[in-house]
Amino acid sequence: MSKQPRQKLSSILKNNLFMLKKVARYTPDYFFWMIVEGVVWGTINSASGVFSFHLLNTVEEGTDFPAAAGMIGLMALFYIVVYAFDRWYWQIQNPLMRQKLHLKMHEELFVKARSLDLSCFDDPEFYNDFVWAMDQSDKRAVEVLEDTGKLINRIVASTTLVGLLLTVDPVISVILFSSSAITIVCNLVGNKISFRHSKETNPLWRKKDYINRVYHLADYAKELRISRADELLMKEYDENTEKIIEVDVKYGKKYFLFYGLGWNALSTVTFFTILVYMIVLLDRGELAIGGFAAVVTVIWKIRWMLIDLIERLTKYPKHSLYIEKYLEFLRFTPRIQTGKSELPPFESLEFRNVSFSYEFSAHPKYQFHEEDYKAPVGENGNREALRNINLTIHAGEKIAIVGYNGAGKTTLIKLMMRLYDPTEGEILYNGVNIKEYDPEAYRKAIGTVFQDYKIFATTVAENVMNGAYCEERDGGTVINALNTADFADKLGTLKEGIHTHLTREFNDNGTNLSGGESQKVAIARVFAKDYPIIIMDEPSSALDPMAEYNLNQSILHHTNDKTVIFISHRLSTTRIADTIYMFDTGRLIEEGSHSELLARNGKYAEMFRLQSEKYQVSL
């Protein structure tokens, strides 16, 4: 584990002030009431000490009972009022404001996450830190604010009680402050240890959470019961837990050294030193019995106050370390930058000498290498997923991208959608580099069904419209899109029609669709909007031959004027394409119509014959 760089005081102040300002901007009522609560509790803590001191002194001096009773009654009324306020704040107001802050800060991070380059999520270190920032952001904001409220509390109470002690004897205050200075050093060291502990265990806890998630998600239920994955996961869970224990033990020893021995010994010696000193004062007659009892009570309180005050102060450097990681994500600038040109109606899309390597530095501290592709190593030593691709797609064409696994098909689509930018070459939309257009506007022109599509735990209609569903406007559109995707028969069996909830995760009356039915719902998404370009990544992978045939015919019928790009391993789908592009290990090796490529008797013809033989055998 690398040593955490020393923070400057200016950075600590800047980071914590940044977080306080963010809380004040998002939840000004939270900020205001926390400050008020700090002042109120500071008054409570100091009032109890001052009250004990004066009450015992007045009793020892022989003050009459009505005066003492009046003092007690006044303090009782004071406590009733302030404790009522405290319960109202912590049980009613505070939970509401914390949820509001959580909502605002996570919405900000969700927007930021959506803007991150897709490649960022391919790097485990970046992803670990990103999950950490998502998990810690509002928690750290709350801690900074509440520690500030507690700091105000301790300052108000400590100032009052130290002033009280100074009236008794200044030496006591000097002893307390000297021990407090040493405690500051111990806490600073302890906070750095705590930060390193958290950083070292974070990836371990993320892995443990992943295994927990596998066991409670329905997606994995069948595989866990019919495979030996359960044994592997249990082994991984045990080993991961052992690693967490090892890290906890390692840091536990350090905590014991700095807290169990250092701080505990210091606080004990400090208290008994003051106690001995006061006995000396008592023996000399410089301190009365009542005053002695009152001062012991005040010393216990002020000792605790000063220790807690120091702990609050020394937490700010720790907060700053977390805030700095959070700020890294807010400051992160995606490499895929927006252009300013307005997107015109689609005419052509051209790949010109395009190459792409899966190596990307998302941030100065993040670098990763994605080598999960059967691609050649380029001159620069990087693993190339695509090499020198040249192809042109015109409006209205039906295109098929084919090849074995690892050929570069999916990478080509990611570049086409500008989820990545080419390492070399350029992609032109109507003859203009796609970098000149706003990525959001550009992607809205492309309707895509990914091979690993996702069905959301919401209604059929909302799934088809990707969440942007309006019943008055979109009902007919959803039904037409589902019919086009050959989902009409299944839709007729659903009691609530397009308002049927999919999955039973949040609705006991929901419906679990089969793989083919779910795929049809995903396909319906591209028919629900007027996309000039439609990309279908393995659109019939979960369909039987008859359903596949019906889908292909429906696609041809409803996309006469649209550009459709198929990515498929099943070459029966490619026969309807105007042009087929055959990829192999990141290179475009053949192109032409189905009949032309068969006549050429190359890789495509070989692949088609193999599939035809397997299909005949299966019959």
Question: Using an 8 Å Cβ cutoff, are 430 and 399 in contact?
Answer: no
**Which pLDDT score is estimated for 386?**
93
Average pLDDT over residues 352-369: 61
Q: Give the pLDDT band (50/70/90) at residue 184.
A: low
> What is the average pLDDT value for the chain, to the nearest integer?
79
pLDDT of residue 346: 94
Select the CATH number that applies to the domain covering 453-530 from these four: 3.10.50.40, 3.40.50.2020, 2.40.110.10, 3.40.50.300: 3.40.50.300
DSSP assignment of 176-232: HHHHHHHHHHHHHHHHHHHHHHHHHHHHHHHHHHHHHHHHH-GGGHHHHHHSSHHHH
Taking every pair of C-alpha atoms in the chain, what is the biggest distance, in angstroms? 118
The strand pairing partners of 386, in sequence order, are: 356
Residue matched to tokens 């309006």: 470
Give 360's pLDDT tier (boundaries 50, 70, 90).
very low
Per the CB < 8 A criterion, the answer to whether 481 and 528 are in contact is yes
Residue 310 has pLDDT above 90, yes or no: no
Looking at 72-86, 222-236, 444-458, 480-494, which range is the least confident one?
222-236
Q: What confidence category does residue 363 fall into, taking pLDDT thresholds of 50, 70 and 90?
A: very low
Confidence of residue 111 (pLDDT cuts 50, 70, 90): confident
The pLDDT of residue 181: 65
**Cβ atoms of residues 252 and 280 within 8 Å:** no
pLDDT digits (tens, 9 = 90+) for 525-537: 888 888 999 998 8
pLDDT above 90 (res 189):
no
Q: Write the single-letter amino acid at 335.
A: R
CA distance 141 to 102: 9
CATH of domain 336-445+532-619: 3.40.50.300
Residue with the bigger pLDDT between 77 and 271: it is: 77
pLDDT at 291 (0 to 100): 63
- Phi and psi angles of residue 227, each rounded to the nearest 5 degrees, phi first: -130, 180
DSSP 97-136: HHHHHHHHHHHHHHHHHHHS-GGGGG-HHHHHHHHHHHHH
pLDDT in tens, 551-571: 777 777 777 788 999 887 767
* Nearest residue to 393 via CA among 597, 564, 584, 574: 564
- 138-181 pLDDT per residue, tens: 888 999 998 999 889 888 887 877 777 777 777 777 776 676 66
On whether the CB atoms of residues 448 and 535 are closer than 8 A, the answer is yes
* Per-residue pLDDT band at 187 (split at 50, 70, 90): low
Q: Are 363 and 126 in contact (CB under 8 A)?
A: yes
The confidence score (pLDDT) of residue 617 equals: 42
Q: What string of H, E and C letters represents the secondary structure of 574-594?
A: HCCCCEEEEEECCEEEEEECH
Q: What's residue 6's pLDDT?
A: 67
- Residues 212, 208: Cα–Cα separation, whole Å: 6
Residue for token digits 């039904």? 479
Q: Provide the CA 245 distance to its chain's centre, in angstroms.
A: 25
Residue type, 157: A
pLDDT confidence bin for 210, thresholds 50/70/90:
confident
Q: What is the pLDDT of residue 374?
A: 40
Q: What is the pLDDT of residues 501-518, one digit of tens each?
A: 888 777 778 888 888 888
